[in-house]
Structure 1
Amino acid sequence: MALNADVIALLDEFKDIRHKIHQHPEVGLETAQTVVLIKSKLDEYGISYENIGVNSLVAEIKGKAGDTTVAFRVDMDGLEMSEENDFSYKSQVEGRMHACGHDGHCTSLIALAAYLSKHRDFNGTVLLLFQSGEEGYEGALRVIEDSFFDKYKVDYMFGFHAWPGLASGKIAVHNGACMASEDRFEIMVTGKSGHASMPHVCNEPFAAVADIIKGLQTIVGRKVPSHERGVVSITQVHGGSLRNGIPDNVMVQGNVRTCNEDVQDLIEESIAQTVAGACAIYGVKGVLDYVRKHPVLINSTPDVARKAAEKVVGPENVVTDLESSMAAEDFAFFMKHTKGCYVWIGNGVDSPPLHNSKFDFNDEILPVAASFFIAVIDELL
């Protein structure tokens, strides 16, 4: 591997930074203390920055002549779950931990900042975006709504995720879809309540709900083309409070994932048809609330990422045939506004999965991520 020597020389320092962030996880948009730490490092490196979005931060580093701007984005937020690791830097905040590697993502960009503070021999501008609220809190949207793409002419944007199950020293680059869309739905079925012994004077909503749930389970198998991927999951059903009473209302919630926007449209339409059909049969009212939470993350410049990855880990360690993930990533919102690519960097074959109480970012891939970013700059600037 051709890891950057400047990053390797400061690896112990970067590990210490990562461990500090890991010990003090912040959730959602409330990443104020993490931002304070990042600002202290940027001040040390002599790099200017400004606040953006909600507790997010963007730093700007200008090179020599040239008007191309490349942005690198990382996330900072942890999760509301208790850590079961027992190493010295485990979370000190009860019920919160960095179970998705954002502490390492963040530190990798700090490492890039340290490198660029001494190496500005590129043509153009580099932006370093430290983003809050990736874990379902619309942090990317808050950055975009705060005029990010109006303040900065972003020609390319890149990001990465530490990836369990992929060997450390390997980088996965997807052509096209990398991460799935995420849609959320709620169905409220309303009938007529009454005594359980006299269903004939009621209009029981559970019968329609049973058919709706059964119908939703057939959408992917019967309507989605066999060469496409989709997931429809029922996650909650609530209704009634009495053993001997038929309720007025039953609520169903669920989640939809796909890697194709046409399939996304098909599934939403099919859910609406299923609800309407079942409710018509049983004479109850059904209201569907369908929300598109994240779009599909589409890589538009995989060749740039692949060439950069090959420089760092060698062509034999660049993986291009992995299936896209059915997990969602709000980096997808940025890809609606500019070109770019999101890659996976192996966290280790034996790494616990993401969002697991024993997950930990692999410190040894910090220089892989930072070196990948540097190689992207070499490719484009």
Structure 2
Amino acid sequence: MGLNSEVVALLDEFKAIRHQIHQNPEIGLETVNTVKLVKSKLDEYSIPYKDIGVNSLVAEIKGNAGDTTVAFRVDMDALEMSEENDFAYKSQFEGRMHACGHDGHCTSLIALAAYLAKNRDFNGTVLLLFQSGEEGYEGALRVIEDGFFDKYKVDYLFGFHGWPGLASGKIAVHNGACMASEDRFEVHVTGKSGHASMPHVCNEPFAAVADIIKGLQTIVARKIPSHERGVLSITQVHGGSLRNGIPDNVMLQGNVRTCNEDVQDLIEESVAQVVKGAATIYGVEAELDYIRKHPVLVNSTPEVAIKAAQKVVGLENVVTDMESSMAAEDYAFFMKHTRGCYVWIGNGLDSAPLHNSKFDFNDDIMPIAASFFIAVIDELL
């Protein structure tokens, strides 16, 4: 099968669209102009669509008779960081840039829409989901809460991410966990303030915080089985305002990543034990707020993705042994409701990392991604 010739023929058009989106990055759920651009292309292709969530939309393409629905999801939002590239289409907005490739993800689905507008010889329905707010703004949850799985019978859902460090022309498919969960916690330790020269009349919260930090750093090393993966990082500690004063309150924050829900449970339980234990030892009050931000992204139908990928890039270019990433993706929420697979498409060995001020999406991925989606449709419909 290889790359779809119709998509390849329009690559220059898709590059122009991608560069326009790259120049005009929008943050979080505020993807107003990006959505307008997507709608203008769908109108051009005579493909109907409906708003969903917050500044997200779903396009629906019906084929021949058939009751199977296959959906494809991409994200659209950028990051709050300044771009250091110097090409003509760099961000026009200081402090905003597409450093995670969502401009390319979005354009790849537009490319699929252009193809499906002229090729509807499949049995069933295809949905194209353009989602805002992936970068920590709960965009996927807003789509789900707005009834995505009630309004549409979604039998399968597929997505992709351009992946730095993976050679261009390769597609990675994970069997099971693809990307990690993300948990966030905050601890407030309250003691009794006073003069630094008289700690005996105070109850110092920093002593408890020090033991909490040490205890938290032992959880992964001592409680998580050696064959499992987990990361627990302390990211902030704040307390005090005087050189010679012991404060009442100290706050610390942290971040947890795992690729196994059982490990996720174990870490949360262990964090609570450490905090409670330190509070008891030092006679302070300690309040823990533990939030599960994203679940583990688990692929349930990798075999479909592998077959489709082989059709597009060939058996030798399908990678099935890459480690799952400890980064999180809110696509994981969709996998709690349906079957599907999220793949990585190589952005190049020399690509800047994701969330880097020098990152740029590789335009050559777009025909690969669109062709992969077309091959998935061929497999399932």
- Please give the TM-score of this superposition, normalised by the length of structure 2: 1.00
Q: CA deviation at 1:106?
A: 0.1
Q: CA deviation at 1:279?
A: 1.1
**Aligned positions, number:** 381
Opposite residue 98 of structure 1, the aligned amino acid is H
Deviations 1:137-193 (A, max 9, x none): 000000000000000000000000000000010000000000000000000000000
Unmatched 5+ stretches in structure 2: none
1:166 matched to which residue of 2? 166
- Secondary structure at 2:160 match in 1: strand
1:48 matched to which residue of 2? 48
Cα distance in 2 between the residues matched to 1:273 and 1:146: 37
Q: CA deviation at 1:365?
A: 1.1
Deviations 1:6-65 (A, max 9, x none): 000100000000000000000000000000000000000000001000000100000000
Cα distance in 2 between the residues matched to 1:364 and 1:141: 31
Cα distance in 2 between the residues matched to 1:121 and 1:364: 26
- Secondary structure at 1:117 match in 2: helix
Opposite residue 134 of structure 2, the aligned amino acid is E
Cα distance in 2 between the residues matched to 1:65 and 1:281: 68
1:263 matched to which residue of 2? 263
Q: Which portions of structure 1, spanning 4 or more consecutive aligned residues, are displaced by more than 2 angstroms? A: none
Opposite residue 64 of structure 2, the aligned amino acid is K
Deviations 1:194-245 (A, max 9, x none): 0101000000000000000001000000000000000000000000000000
1:361 matched to which residue of 2? 361
Opposite residue 25 of structure 2, the aligned amino acid is P
Cα distance in 1 between the residues matched to 2:5 and 2:304: 22
Do residues 299 (structure 1) and 299 (structure 2) align?
A: yes
- Secondary structure at 1:134 match in 2: coil
Q: How does 1:249-288 map to 2 (within 5 A)?
A: 249-288=249-288
Q: What percentage of aligned pairs have identical amino acids?
A: 86
Cα distance in 1 between the residues matched to 2:129 and 2:332: 15
Opposite residue 98 of structure 2, the aligned amino acid is H
Cα distance in 1 between the residues matched to 2:69 and 2:146: 18
Do residues 118 (structure 1) and 118 (structure 2) align?
A: yes
2:74 matched to which residue of 1? 74
Q: CA deviation at 1:280?
A: 0.7
Q: CA deviation at 1:341?
A: 0.2
Cα distance in 2 between the residues matched to 1:369 and 1:242: 56
Cα distance in 2 between the residues matched to 1:93 and 1:311: 40
2:89 matched to which residue of 1? 89
Q: How does 1:1-381 map to 2 (within 5 A)?
A: 2-381=2-381
Opposite residue 220 of structure 2, the aligned amino acid is V
Cα distance in 2 between the residues matched to 1:31 and 1:93: 14
Unmatched 5+ stretches in structure 1: none
Cα distance in 1 between the residues matched to 2:158 and 2:214: 41
- Secondary structure at 2:332 match in 1: helix
Opposite residue 242 of structure 1, the aligned amino acid is L
Cα distance in 2 between the residues matched to 1:62 and 1:372: 19
- Secondary structure at 2:228 match in 1: coil
Cα distance in 2 between the residues matched to 1:353 and 1:82: 15
Cα distance in 2 between the residues matched to 1:250 and 1:15: 50
Deviations 1:241-287 (A, max 9, x none): 00000000000000000000000000000000000111111110111
Deviations 1:65-98 (A, max 9, x none): 0000000000000000000000000000111000
Q: CA deviation at 1:323?
A: 0.3
Cα distance in 1 between the residues matched to 2:11 and 2:240: 57
Q: Report the RMSD for the aligned CA atoms in angstroms.
A: 0.5
Opposite residue 277 of structure 2, the aligned amino acid is G
Cα distance in 1 between the residues matched to 2:93 and 2:102: 16
Cα distance in 2 between the residues matched to 1:6 and 1:261: 42
